[in-house]
Amino acid sequence: MTGKKAPIGIFDSGYGGLTIFGEIRSLLPQYDYVYLGDNARTPYGSRSFEVVYQFTRQAVLHLLAEGCPLIILACNTASAKALRTIQQCDLPQIDVTKRVLGVIRPTVEVVDQVSCTKHIGVLGTSGTIYSRSYELEIAKLYPDVHVVSEACPMWVPLVENREYDSPGADYFIQKHLNALLMQDSRIDTILLACTHYPLLMNKIKQYLPAGITVFPQGKQVADSLKDYLFRHPEMEMRLTQHATCRFQTTESAAKFSESASVFLKHPVEVEQIVIA
C-alpha cells in the first residue's frame, strides 16, 4: 500500500538548496513541493558526521510526516555525511516504499562527459571536502579521472551575508581557486560541490584561466530527478501535481523569506517549524 499522493520534499541545512530547488521547479513545475531549511542549526559544513546525520534524520522524519514519498537532500554535507545511513538503516525500518536521494551522485555522473583532460577540481565546504565523498564516488564510476579538492569555509558566509558580488569577496575567491589549481595544473573542470556557490559564479569565472569549465549542480540534479521519475512510474504516480510549493524553516520566517529572495529572486511565504 503506497498511501495517498503527496508533494516532493526538498531539504537543506539553509538557503543554498534553493539553487537546487529553483532548477528542479523550473524543469518540473507541475509537481508540488515542500522545502525545509534547517536555518536555526546551519551551517552543517563544519559539524561532525554524527551531528549531521542526527539533524538530517530529524528533517527527513519531518518531511515523511508531511507525507512526502520522495525527499531530495539538496545539501552536499547532508548527502556526504547522512544519506547512505538513512537509505540503508533508517528507511527499511520506517517505510520501505519511501525514497531519499542526494546531490552527489547526479553531479558525479556527468564528470566524464564534461572533462577532456580527466582532471577535475572540487570546491566545497570543509565537511563535504573532508568526507572525500566526491573523490570516492568519482573513483567508483570513473577510475581514470584524477580529482583534487579545496575546502572554502568563507564562501557560504559571503553568500549568506550578501557579499557574494562585492569587492570583499575577491580575496577569498582568488585564494581558494589558486590553491586548487596549484594542486593540479591540468584541471579543466571544476565542480561546485556546495549549493551556495552558484551565486559566486561571476567572481569565480573572473579569477579562472580560460578553458576551465565551472559546473554547478542544479541543472544536473533536476535532470537526474526527471529521469528518476521516468524510470520509476510507481513513484511518479504518488506525487501531487498542482504546481505549488510550501516553505518551512526552523529559524525566523521573516528572515528566511528575505534571504530566500537572494536565491529565488522573489520573496516567499514561510512557516516556522520545530524539528527534533
Can you list the positions of beta strands (E) in 1-139?
A: 8-12, 33-37, 70-73, 99-101, 119-124
Query: What CA–CA distance (Å, rounded) separates 49 from 44?
Result: 10
In 3D space, the residue among 55, 20, 54, 22 whose CA is nearest the CA of residue 39 turns out to be 55
194 is catalytic: yes
89 is catalytic: no
Specify whether the CB–CB gap between 28 and 226 falls below 8 A: yes
Q: Cell 505549488 maps to which residue?
A: 244
Which H/E stretch holds residue 272?
A: strand 270-272
Q: Which residue among 68, 75, 152, 245 is the active-site one? A: 75
Q: Is the dihedral of CA 178, 180, 184, 190 positive or negative?
A: negative
Q: Which three cell numbers stand for residue 91?
A: 528507511
Q: Which residue among 68, 116, 152, 194 is the active-site one? A: 194
Which H/E stretch holds residue 77?
A: helix 76-81
Q: Is the dihedral of CA 147, 81, 225, 29 positive or negative?
A: negative
The catalytic residue positions are 75, 194
